[in-house]
Amino acid sequence: MFHYDWDWSVIWTYRWAFAEGLGVTTLLSLVAMLLGTISGLALGVVLSFKTPGPFVLLRSLLLFLIDAIKALPPLIVILFFYYWLPYLTGIKSSFWLAASALSLSLCVFVADVFRHAIAGVPRPQIDAGYALGMSHPTVLKRLIFPEALRSIVPTLGILYLDIFKLTSLASVIVVRELVHRASEVSTYTYRFLEVYAALAGIYLVVLLPFSFLVRKLESSSMFTRRS
Amino acid sequence: MSHLSVHNIHKSFGDSPVIAGVSFDLQPGEACVVIGPSGGGKTTLLKCINLLCRIDHGRIEFDGKTIVNADATSSTYTVEMDPSALRTRIGMVFQEWNLWPNKTIRENIALGPICVKGMRKSDAYELAEELGRQVAIAEKMDSFPHSLSGGQKQRAAIARALAMRPELLMLDEVTSALDPVLAAEVLEVMEGLKQQGLTLLVVTHHIDFARAMADQVLFLEGGEVRETGDPGILDEPETEQLAWFLKRVWRAR
């Protein structure tokens, strides 16, 4: 019969390691969310223009790159960045390498979601703007972008949830985030079960309320209003 | 001088012609009512006039100036008036109102003057308030479109078009999606506009309404004007097609 003497005191002893790890995880997520969202929205806008000419080629190229990055596991992107970017750019900080890799992974999804949201703004709403004499830029700025942005908020919530979890991958390139700190603690103490249970607990405490919030957003009339 | 004059315009979508040589003149302050079966080119006609649709052939003049001139044989299409400027002068109200769902009624009405005419927000909101009273939706100004009845939405859409102070207003089957009581509310608003002297181009299936307020009736079928004249033609149609159409409309009531 399996017998194990539980010793939860290690969690309390190493509480600051967990706290610091959570801090780094949170910071890494926030940076990735911020950069990934801004670049993704910008990319989505660029892709929503379907003007003919040389731009068509650029657009197809971007769409191909997006598909390629979507097809790569985020861990591969992180490792690729870790081994290649220092040579190409001189960035050596693991934190920033991981942040850029995660931003890129998020960026491609945000770009796709926003591009579809822009295309999905009902034509009649757009015609109503033109019929009042609005110019094309005004219609984009005052009607299409606000409507598209509003409609992607719940989806962004789900993507953010994912990014927060994906930061754990940064542990492989020695970013001292939560998983990395937890594995350190477990190797000092040999208390693997307690440490990883605590680790799971911390993720749940942070993400369950967030999931709940996202579900609220999905059903909120703010984002599903129809005339 | 005609306020609006349409000369022999043609428009096809792909291989199917939607408008095949329509001409008419509209005098200032006149109300022209366009009737005819669905798919007869009525909506497309309105969209061609405010340049939301590109004509293949023909010429349209507004206030004595050419808006657009197109020639099918040489495939030329020349817009001679700035579309934005033109659309501020020719208002359009859509069959399904097309209100912006995430803006309040006040914002819906005020956005045009703010964005296009550069009106100050406070002035535009005041104007919205005034128009809201005119079309009897003053108590709904802070609501979002989804909480309004169909008739209220359509009146809000009319107020939104009026906020640009158009010289000519085009109304596209604005009562078709409404039940008779709600339609009556909207028709009352339209009669008010006519009394104010606004030039109106109205697509409708309300024959009674056409009889009461039209100065000119156009019967459009298969992309052509089959019959035109004063509202008298609604009682004594000359063509078989109009007689048949009127009989159908009466039976549906």
Cβ distance of A132 and B100 shorter than 8 Å: no
**Summary mean pLDDT of chain A:** 93
Between CA B79 and CA B61 the distance in angstroms is: 11
Residue B33: its H or E element: strand B31-35
For residue A227, is pLDDT > 70? no
Cα–Cα distance, B28 to B168 (Å, whole number): 8
Residues 142-181 (A) with a CB less than 8 A from some CB of B? 142-143, 146-147, 150
* B168-172 and B31-35 strand pairing: unpaired
Q: Would you write out chain B's pLDDT as a tens digit for each of its 253 residues?
A: 789 999 999 999 988 899 999 999 999 999 999 999 988 889 999 999 999 999 999 999 999 999 999 998 888 999 999 999 999 999 999 999 999 999 999 999 999 999 999 999 999 999 999 999 999 999 999 999 999 999 999 999 999 999 999 999 999 988 888 888 888 888 888 999 999 999 999 999 888 888 888 999 999 998 999 999 999 999 999 999 999 999 988 887 6
pLDDT in tens, A17-30: 999 999 999 999 99
Shortest Cα distance, chain B CAs vs residue A152, angstroms = 14
Cβ separation A133–B97 shorter than 8 A: no
* 8 Å CB contact between B32 and B215: yes
Helix (H) or strand (E) holding B164: none
**Degrees to nearest 5, angle at CA A127 with A121 and A132:** 130
Cα(A68)–Cα(A222) distance, integer angstroms: 34
In terms of Cα–Cα distance, which of A217, A226, A225 is closest to A161?
A217
Backbone angles phi, psi at B229, to 5 degrees: 160, -165
Compare CB distances from A125 to B84, B98, B115 and report the shortest one's residue: B98
Least confident of A31-40, A154-163, A218-227, B191-200: A218-227
Distances (CA, A) of A68 to A35, A65, A81, B63, B108: 20, 5, 15, 56, 42
d(CA A52, CA B44): 26
> Average pLDDT in the A145-172 region?
95
Find where tokens 């004594």 sit: B236
**Where do we find the tokens 């914002």?**
B107
ipTM above 0.85, yes or no: yes
Which residues on B lie below 8 Å from A226 (Cβ)? Answer: 101, 146
d(CA B192, CA B213): 10
For residue B215 the two structure tokens come to 């100065």
Would you call A138 an interface residue with chain B, using a CB distance cutoff of 8 Å? yes
What is residue A226's predicted lDDT score, i.e. its pLDDT?
A: 67
β-pair partners for A226: none
Cβ pair B85:A133 closer than 8 A = yes
User: What region, left, alpha or beta, does residue B146 occupy, with left being phi > 0 and alpha being psi -120 to 50 degrees?
Assistant: alpha
Question: Contact A147/A225 with Cβ under 8 angstroms?
Answer: no
Interface test with A, best of B94, B98, B131 (most A CBs within 10 A): B98
Cα(B113)–Cα(B115) distance, rounded to whole angstroms? 6
Which of B62, B92, B100, B165 to mutate: most A Cβ within 10 Å? B100
For residue A53, pLDDT beyond 80 = no
Of B52, B85, B100, the CB nearest to A131: B52
CA dist., res. A7 & res. A45, Å (int)? 54
**What kind and span of H or E run contains B131?**
helix B121-134
pLDDT of residue A219: 84
Distances (CA, A) of A47 to A42, A181, B200: 9, 40, 41
Tokens matching residue B172: 């596209």
Angle at B147 between CA B146 and CA B151, to 5 degrees: 85
CA separation for the pair B203, B158 (Å, rounded): 14
Q: A1 CB near a chain B CB, below 8 Å? A: no
Residue B60's CB: how many other CB atoms inside 10 A?
A: 22
CB atoms within 10 A of CB B208: 11
For chain B, the residue count is 253
Radius of gyration of chain B, Cα coordinates, nearest whole angstrom: 18
Could you say which DSSP state residue B98 is in? -
Residue A222: the pLDDT is: 76
Q: Which residues of A touch B53 (CB under 8 A)?
A: none
pLDDT recorded at residue A192: 93
pLDDT of residue B253: 67
- H, E, C per residue of chain A: CCCCCCCCHHHHHCHHHHHHHHHHHHHHHHHHHHHHHHHHHHHHHHHHCCCCCCHHHHHHHHHHHHHHHHHCCHHHHHHHHHHHHHHHHCCCCHHHHHHHHHHHHHHHHHHHHHHHHHHHCCHHHHHHHHHCCCCHHHHHHHHHHHHHHHHHHHHHHHHHHHHHHHHHHHHHHCCCCHHHHHHHHHHHHCCHHHHHHHHHHHHHHHHHHHHHHHHHHHHCHHHHCCC
Name, in order, each residue with C-beta under 8 angstroms of A109's C-beta and a sequence gap of 6 or more: A40, A70, A159
Q: What is the distance between the alpha carbons of residues A169 and A180, in angstroms, rounded to a whole number?
A: 9
Distance CA A85, CA A68 (A): 18
Q: Reply yes or no on whether the pLDDT at A224 is more than 90.
A: no
Half-sphere exposure in the Cβ direction for A220 (13 Å, CA): 16
Give the global pTM.
0.87
Query: Percentages helix, strand, coil for chain B, rounded to the nearest 5?
Result: 40, 25, 35
